[in-house]
């Protein structure tokens, strides 16, 4: 496995334009990624510390993955097209006093659709059968601590069978409960309190209770038709 950062980038660029079989050989053989035999990787630029893709997992085309320590996709998890997943490089000395984990973990049959931005300066976890849906949502794990004038970072977690709609913003430390819905354009700060609830607005306020037997919450198929 190649460890030199510049050589890894060169291999990643070659994999971006290579035919499917050659792409897999470059990603697994030279970059050391662990990709299941039936997982699929489109024409995306991927330079991360470790990529693990379980059975049936998929990454679409025109995505950018940079400087994340680990991207872990469990069985059936999927990432669509035109997404940007990145982190601040450890080698640049950012967040020197923080014990952070720059990673993206996607549980079974979870999905990030298209045109989203995922900041993985700390851990981002998307729960089983949850969807970051629509487009243009932002998941942010770092910011500025105004009180002491330093950078801060905190993980973001989306529970199981949750739905995050277009244009939502999840700030450092956000927690979306299982079987809940974050409405379009909502801003999630901290841990939302209840499952089976619709949250909307600039401070992600609870608007109404959602029945736990709703078909979205009880489905077993990752894809919606």
CA 219 – CA 213 distance, rounded (Å) = 10
Say whether pLDDT at 225 is over 70: no
CATH number of the structural domain spanning residue 210: 2.160.10.10
Please tell me whether residue 194 adopts helix, strand or coil conformation. coil
CA 87 to chain centre: 11
Q: Is residue 40 part of a domain?
A: no
Q: Whole-prediction pTM value?
A: 0.94
Q: What confidence score (pLDDT) does residue 91 get?
A: 67
| Total domains in the fold of the chain | 1
Instruction: With beta carbons less than 8 A apart as the criterion, state whether 77 and 111 touch.
Output: yes
Q: What is the pLDDT of residues 88-114, one digit of tens each?
A: 877 667 777 788 899 999 999 999 999
Domain extent at residue 83: 49-216
Q: Is residue 16 part of a domain?
A: no
Please tell me whether residue 210 adopts helix, strand or coil conformation. coil
Q: Is residue 225 part of a domain?
A: no
Q: Is residue 123 part of a domain?
A: yes
Q: What is the pLDDT of residues 126-138, one digit of tens each?
A: 999 999 999 999 9
Say whether pLDDT at 189 is over 90: yes
Find tokens 């949750």 and name the residue.
162
Q: Is residue 32 part of a domain?
A: no
Q: Is residue 41 part of a domain?
A: no
């Amino acid at each position: 496995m190649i460890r030199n950062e510049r050589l890894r980038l060169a291999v990643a660029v070659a994999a971006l334009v290579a035919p499917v079989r050659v792409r897999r050989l470059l990603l697994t053989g030279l970059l050391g990624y662990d990709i299941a035999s039936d997982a699929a990787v489109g024409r995306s630029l991927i330079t991360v510390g470790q990529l693990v893709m379980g059975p049936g997992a998929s990454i679409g085309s025109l995505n950018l993955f940079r400087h994340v320590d680990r991207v872990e996709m469990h069985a059936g998890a999927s990432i669509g097209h035109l997404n940007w997943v990145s982190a601040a490089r450890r080698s640049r000395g950012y967040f020197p006093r923080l014990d952070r984990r720059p990673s993206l973990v996607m549980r079974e049959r979870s999905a990030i659709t298209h045109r989203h931005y995922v900041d993985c300066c700390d851990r981002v976890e998307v729960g089983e059968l949850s969807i970051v849906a629509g487009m243009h949502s932002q998941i942010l794990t770092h910011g500025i601590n105004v009180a002491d004038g330093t950078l801060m970072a905190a993980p973001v977690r989306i529970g199981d069978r949750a739905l995050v709609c277009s244009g939502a913003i999840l700030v450092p430390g956000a927690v979306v409960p299982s079987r809940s819905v974050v409405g379009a354009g909502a801003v999630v700060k901290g841990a939302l309190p209840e499952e089976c609830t619709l949250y909307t607005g600039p401070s992600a306020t609870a608007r109404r209770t959602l029945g736990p037997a709703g078909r979205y919450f009880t489905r077993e198929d990752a894809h919606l038709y």
